[in-house]
């Protein structure tokens, strides 16, 4: 790791205000970071309340955590066919309707990432083998397909909310 890359990594951590780890291949042209945040309600001096995202280090069962993954193109060539695959973390449940990602098709899996489908199309079989609509808490994976090439210097982010079981 070069000094400049180390500096960049440090900058990213400062940028997202969280201890995100940055992992990339030696010649990677995309930088990927993932952070965990929570929403807190804050009031300004006039008493106006607003919701602010802050890094979360600890939480009790039932808490909601927002996981956000950022990807940035750091070279001079466009990257295409960008797909982000994200297993729902162990000990958490996906919160219905929470997945977000600009210019992305968002699909879900209930079978450990073998097959994916839109949220309203996913089926699971019950104990009697009868098909029913999958519940959001049964999702095992989320997959974002970024619809356009990512131009040099550009970045985008995807994410979702999970409830700690």
Kindly tell me which residue out of 105, 133, 135, 148 binds another protein, with binding defined by CB under 8 A: 105
H or E element, residue 3: helix 3-16
Neighbouring residues of 92: CB distance < 8 A, sequence distance ≥ 6: 65, 162, 163, 164, 165
- Binding to another protein (CB under 8 A) within 37-56 occurs at 55-56
Kindly tell me which residue out of 48, 49, 58, 130 binds another protein, with binding defined by CB under 8 A: 58
Residue 24 makes contact with another protein by CB under 8 A: yes
Residue 29 makes contact with another protein by CB under 8 A: yes
H or E element, residue 105: strand 104-109
- Binding to another protein (CB under 8 A) within 60-99 occurs at 60-62, 65, 67, 69, 71, 77, 79-93
Kindly tell me which residue out of 48, 114, 127, 132 binds another protein, with binding defined by CB under 8 A: 114
- Rounded to whole angstroms, the Cα distance separating 95 from 107 reads 14
Neighbouring residues of 15: CB distance < 8 A, sequence distance ≥ 6: none
Q: Supply the minimum distance, in Å, between the C-beta of residue 31 and another protein.
A: 8
DSSP state of 56: -
Q: How far is CA 105 from the centre of its chain?
A: 14
Q: By the criterion CB under 8 A, which residues form the site for another protein?
A: 18-25, 28-30, 32-36, 55-62, 65, 67, 69, 71, 77, 79-93, 105, 107, 112-118, 121, 140-141, 143, 145, 150, 158, 162, 164-165
């Amino acid at each position: 790791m070069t000094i400049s890359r180390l500096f960049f990594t440090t900058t990213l951590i400062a940028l997202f205000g969280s201890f995100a780890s940055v992992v990339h291949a030696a010649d990677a042209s995309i930088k990927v970071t993932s952070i965990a945040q929570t929403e807190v309600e804050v009031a300004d001096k006039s008493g106006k309340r607003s919701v602010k995202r802050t890094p979360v280090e600890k939480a009790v069962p039932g808490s909601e955590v927002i996981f956000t993954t950022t990807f940035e193109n750091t070279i001079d060539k466009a990257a295409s066919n960008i797909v982000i695959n994200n297993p729902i973390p162990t000990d958490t449940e996906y919160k219905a309707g929470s997945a977000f990602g600009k210019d992305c098709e968002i699909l879900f899996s209930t079978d450990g990432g073998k097959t994916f489908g839109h949220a309203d199309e996913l089926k699971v079989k019950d104990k009697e083998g009868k098909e029913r609509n999958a519940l959001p808490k049964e999702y095992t994976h989320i997959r974002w397909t970024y619809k356009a090439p990512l131009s040099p210097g550009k970045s985008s982010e995807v994410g979702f909310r999970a409830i700690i079981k």
